[in-house]
Amino acid sequence: MNSIAACDQCGHDYEPTDLLRGLCPACLFAHALPDGDSVSDAAWADGLSGVRFAPPKINDLTPHFPQLDIRELAGQGGMSAVYRAHHPHLNRTVALKVLPKEIAEIQGGAERFKREAQTLAQLSHANIVNVYDSGQAGPWCYIVMEFVQGPNLRQLLGESKLATSDVLRIVSGVCDGLQYAHDQGVVHRDVKPENVLLDCAGHVKLVDFGLAKLLNPPPSSDSVTRTHQVMGTPYYLAPEQAETPANVDHRADLYSLGVMMYEMLTGELPLGHFDLPSQRIGSDPALDAVVLQAMSKDPHRRYQQARDLQRSMTSPPTVKPMSGKAKTRPRWHGVVNELILSACSLVTALAACFVLMGLPAESRYDSPERPSTRNSEEIRAPATARANLHARFRAVGKRVGMSLPLFVISFLLSRVNVSSATQWRDLSPVQNLCVPVLVTAYVVIGFVVLIGPGLLILLFESLPLIADLGHWSAFGRTIAESDRNSIVTPYWFRVYGVAALTSASWCMLLASVLRTRPNLVRRLLHPSDDHTTAVTARTASYSVGATLLLAGLLLLYAVRLAEAP
Amino acid sequence: MKHPADHTPLQSPRGFRTTHWSLVVSASADSREALEELCAVYWPPLFSYVRRLGYNDAEAEDLTQAFFTRLLDKRLLALADRDRGRFRTFLLTALRRFVVNEWKHQTAEKRGGATRHFTLSTPGAEQLVAADVTTNLTPDRLFERNWALVVLQRALDELESEQRTAGKGESYRALVPYLIGDADVPGYDAVAKQLGSTSAALRMLVVRNRKRLGELIRCEIRKTVGSDADVDEEVGQLFRSLQS
């Protein structure tokens, strides 16, 4: 532990280190300020603005807590500071919650704090943080309690959207804790994401019973309540908490839980005329009913018990399996998406193939060595084919060059739409349907333009080697005069078939990559994207791939049947 | 590269890259080395941030290491919105997201033993973050403060090596205590005697060193912001973080 020194120049405390030659960092840094300003009181005040109180320094606390090894400030609430500490005798990490002097001096502050300790001490439940000790140490009111290592729900919500299954799990845990507390006659009255902690095992822990109310209220509770309304966040408050604070009962917690659940599902607070979660994110409509009933303005129309909410939420029809790609979307949504997606990708693939894959045949057709007439059974000698390879490559290059604008346009379109796919849940169904179609178009066209020609040339060239494989040997090597004028001929069907097969293999490859490396798609599509896009893209790729595979096989089979003697 | 008009043009110190981090990022060819350097310099604030979140030293180090590995390997930096924003803010945001994701992975028991390519090594930086357990700042403020300390340490090291190169190492070391503050500190005479110089000359030297230190700090900060206009704001913010 370094010693703290007060700077002679600016008066601030600092820890001298050799790295800074034992000098005061603020004074050194002041040289870099514009115009060489030194410490300005305005800047200092600005830096502190928004801080209601300074958490007590560890050095000030240490003398009063000889039984604890206080490590660091773990968090700071509206009324208290929480430190991570080690209890050497018990050999466990504990949380030390301390009431700052500033708050203790506010009327009712210390009283409320003590009441929280007593309230918590009554409660012993897996979903409620455990209290080990409480009391007064020197000038400090304190509570020693279980240390929960992990983020609070607010932090989780801030980083990414939660899967519906996670929401249900967390809400269920909160319900367990609340039901227990309510059974003991305790109303939390400040249920909000900040007060729901999640430990490393994913267990839910309710904390901060600082505003909790005993259902047999002590006479002083009114003043406490008034303070709370100034400091608490209003969004989670039940209407009766604002209107008739004296008559608040446990159903207020269920209202707050409903708001929290809405926020967990949609990422937004239900303000004004809000959309139902199913409208916003396509979640199960059954959950809408749960959220709405929990958020009823009239306490009598709410769930009357936390366990009722939990039960209606976890009843079989509403809860989907924990695994599975479509767990956060209703079934029809995915099916329609995939159907339209598949149809569109098939059309796209065929169109792209038609434009791009007539190429080798055309180039052969125009090459000088080409005999003036051909029939569909004629197979050129491999030597001639190789002689023409160069010309074919040139023609491929030309065609690729011609199709580049097409590719760029489809790329840009898809990229724009893929970006918007990150707000997948916020889009209308029509938009949602467009996104995967364009993504697919991008993938297929990208594949056909960039990779397809090369692969196909390879395929063409290797065909003489596998000439025995029935009609495959004729593919790409022959073109009848009639084939030039009509696209409904066996030759073109083969082209389509092979194109579809190659595209299918690509899509399957993509889907497999997305399955094994879901992070890849995040980087490809959007750096800050969440899991949803990876799943969406994977689903899309699988369905496109399957469709193309089927289409390709069917076409080739049809050609075979048609050409059978 | 333009400099704010009210400051004398910054002389690029030896070994310093004075381009903004955005430019470092966008020059893709040899950017990795430059980025690694930048990350290697600024890991301690991130490390202490993670630790302040409640992880122990070993876990925090693992997480920080994994974070940088991810950052460098996956070219997240190249995807950063580099037109605006500071390197510091970007790193902190990315780290927060990373820690939460890691936590999710951990709870899902998916966390694999990723190979690590990034080594946390800045000589002496451990000292800097070793002290943080005794402070009572929130993780964000602690992160800011540590960031400022790293900037300061870099600038001081650079100043010292400049002075040494110029053959003034001895007088610089003797005058280090005078670097702080603007007011004249009494006692130049004794040092002057010891160095065989005059107190007027030393006072001059101190003033120049202070000014140069300020320039070096700004120079260091320029690398981590999106534009020159942001430098003043960043200096102010980091300065305030040191005062708490």
**Is there a single domain that holds both residue A554 and residue A437?**
yes
d(CA B237, CA B244): 11
pLDDT value at A67 more than 80: yes
Q: Is A190 a catalytic residue?
A: yes
For residue B133, being part of any structural domain is answered with: yes
For residue A557, being part of any structural domain is answered with: yes
Interface mutation target, options A3, A72, A204, A418, chain B, most CBs of B under 10 Å? A72
CA distance B144 to chain A (A): 12
Query: How does DSSP assign A92-157, residue by residue?
Result: EEEEEEEE-HHHHHSTTHHHHHHHHHHHHHH---TTBPPEEEEEEETTEEEEEEE---S-BHHHHH
**Percent of chain A surpassing pLDDT 90:** 1
Q: Which residues of A touch B135 (CB under 8 A)?
A: 15, 58, 72-73
CA distance B231 to chain A (A): 9
Q: Which residues of B touch A19 (CB under 8 A)?
A: 124-125, 127-128, 149, 153, 156
pLDDT value at A472 more than 50: no
User: Containing domain of residue B144, as a range?
Assistant: 21-243
- pLDDT at site A175: 92
* Overall domain count for chain A: 4
Other Cβ atoms closer than 10 A to A90: 11
Q: Which helix (H) or strand (E) holds A71?
A: strand A69-76
**Whole-number average pLDDT of chain B:** 71
Between A and B, how many residue pairs show a Cβ–Cβ distance under 8 A?
165
CA distance B236 to chain A (A): 7
**Is there a single domain that holds both residue A170 and residue A270?**
yes
- pLDDT at site B9: 37
Q: Do A19 and B180 touch (CB under 8 A)?
A: no
pLDDT value at A5 more than 80: no
Q: Considering only A265-279, A460-474, B119-133, B149-163, which range has the smallest mean pLDDT?
A: A460-474
d(CA A541, CA A303): 43
Q: Which of A111, A146, A181 is the last residue of a domain?
A: A146
Other Cβ atoms closer than 10 A to A64: 16
Burial class (CB in 10 A: 0-12, 13-18, 19+), A190: buried
The CA angle B176-B178-B186, to the nearest 5 degrees, is 140
- pLDDT at site A503: 67
pLDDT value at A177 more than 60: yes
Q: Determine contact, residues A392/A364, Cβ cutoff 8 Å.
A: yes
In the set A176, A190, A208, A529, the catalytic residue is A190
* Overall domain count for chain B: 1
- Both tokens assigned to A149: 């290592």
Q: Which residues of B touch A72 (CB under 8 A)?
A: 51-52, 132-133, 135-136
- Nearest residue of B to residue A525 by CA position? B79
Q: State whether residue A3 sits within 8 Å of chain B by CB.
A: no
For residue A170, being part of any structural domain is answered with: yes
ipTM of the complex: 0.72
Other Cβ atoms closer than 10 A to A420: 17
- State the pLDDT confidence band at A273, using cuts at 50, 70 and 90: confident
For residue A323, being part of any structural domain is answered with: no
Q: Which of A146, A165, A190 is the last residue of a domain?
A: A146
- pLDDT at site A459: 64
d(CA B170, CA B160): 10
**Is there a single domain that holds both residue A387 and residue A519?**
yes
Section B162-173 average pLDDT: 84
Q: Do B97 and A44 touch (CB under 8 A)?
A: no
Q: Which of A201-215, A420-434, A479-493 has the highest mean pLDDT?
A: A201-215
For residue A325, being part of any structural domain is answered with: no
The CA angle A365-A367-A369, to the nearest 5 degrees, is 105
- Both tokens assigned to B170: 């001895």
Q: Determine contact, residues B78/B163, Cβ cutoff 8 Å.
A: no
User: Containing domain of residue A248, as a range?
Assistant: 153-314
What's the half-sphere exposure (Cβ side, CA atoms, 13 Å) at A299? 18
**Is there a single domain that holds both residue A479 and residue A450?**
yes
Q: Which residues of A touch B106 (CB under 8 A)?
A: 200
